[in-house]
Amino acid sequence: MKQAFDLSVLVKNSGEWLKGTGPESDIVISSRIRLARNLAGFPFIKKCSEDDRKKIERQVRTRLEALAGWDDIQYVDIDSLSEVDRQFLVERQLISREIAESEGSRAVAIDPCEQYSVMINEEDHLRIQVMHSGLDLVSAWEQIDKLDDAIEGELLYAFHPRFGYLTACPTNVGTGLRVSVMLHLPGLVITQQIEKVFRSMQRINVTVRGLYGEGSQYTGDFYQVSNQVTLGHTERELLTMVGEEVVPRIIDYERKARDFLMEKGEQDLLDDVSRALGILSTARKISSEETMHYLSKVRMGVNLGLIDDVEVATINKLFIHTQPAHLQKLQGRMLTTSDRHIERANYLQRHLRDSGSLPDELN
């Protein structure tokens, strides 16, 4: 692992989970498995002194560097990053908002393909996560299970024979497992069925969050669905509940909503998504919220065959690259809010032009 890592390397690429591939990828953006782990012999993070945090960070880094096959992993000292760089990692789903906004010694180890990362000194001492494109929870679990075993071979975890893995939050005690699926649900939003669907989910211990996890807003019709508690459930039970029971049901609801919109008025829907593409293609200034709103419509239009010459992977990339920190990393300088609105519009036009989706008179 190298200490110095230029985050600009990441901005030039789309992470593995942004490729728009994998099962059910027209609706499922990504599958994520996260494990919460703590080291024996240290208090939980909220009770840690700064000296404790430094010892944890140093010990974890030393052990990770000893793992076979981790030579290409990039190690990032979050405490030394600028606010823009921290936000950049949040936008790419590589770190949480909590670790970005906290203080003291903390770090993240990042796989170059962005399939997995290990956060150090977040709410727990370790937060290990794996992300795959589409609905791919089984292979994501197999990958993180091997990672966890390898790390546990180097570090002594806090574990209780009755309660399982000990975590800072009681809802994570047991397996420490959070199974999350990010879904794109514009059909349910447009038909005003989204609240009804998610109310039914709450009765079976499933929680719904926004694009950037706990406390974040629902933007771009993106929703993260995950298990609410882990205690008393095996890993296989949690994977089955989310991946085989809850998510397929939501996918079915979304498909029916899209079918309803097509049957009710295909021309109206075509007009709606075409207007969205027109605004994205011609606007001179546009906010992040507007961009997410219109890209959501375009993405649905592409998947329904209403828009040609734009790939889902391009739309997925635009969702991320037009976020505030990404724009500033792409420009290599700080931008005011007004400047970001202008540069975002320019960026959208350039990339939609390259994809061939702009009318001839705008090329």
- Whether residue 209 is annotated as binding a ligand: the answer is yes
pLDDT band at 232 (very low <50, low <70, confident <90, very high): confident
- Whether residue 182 is annotated as binding a ligand: the answer is yes
Q: What span, in angstroms and rounded, lies between the C-alpha atoms of 119 and 54?
A: 14
- Whether residue 210 is annotated as binding a ligand: the answer is yes
- Whether residue 201 is annotated as binding a ligand: the answer is no
- Whether residue 211 is annotated as binding a ligand: the answer is yes
Residue predicted with more confidence, 199 or 117: 117
CB–CB of 184/221 below 8 Å? yes
Q: What value does the mean pLDDT of the chain take? A: 90
- Whether residue 284 is annotated as binding a ligand: the answer is no
pLDDT in tens, 47-104: 999 999 999 999 999 999 888 778 788 899 999 999 999 999 999 999 999 999 999 9
The helix, strand and coil proportions of the chain, stated in percent and rounded to the nearest 5, come to: 50, 15, 35
pLDDT of residue 360: 44
For the cut 60, the answer to whether the pLDDT of residue 284 exceeds it is yes
- Whether residue 258 is annotated as binding a ligand: the answer is no
Q: Which residues are 127's β-sheet partners?
A: 36, 119
- Whether residue 178 is annotated as binding a ligand: the answer is yes
- Whether residue 265 is annotated as binding a ligand: the answer is no
Helix (H, G, I), strand (E, B) or coil at 37: strand
DSSP 127: E
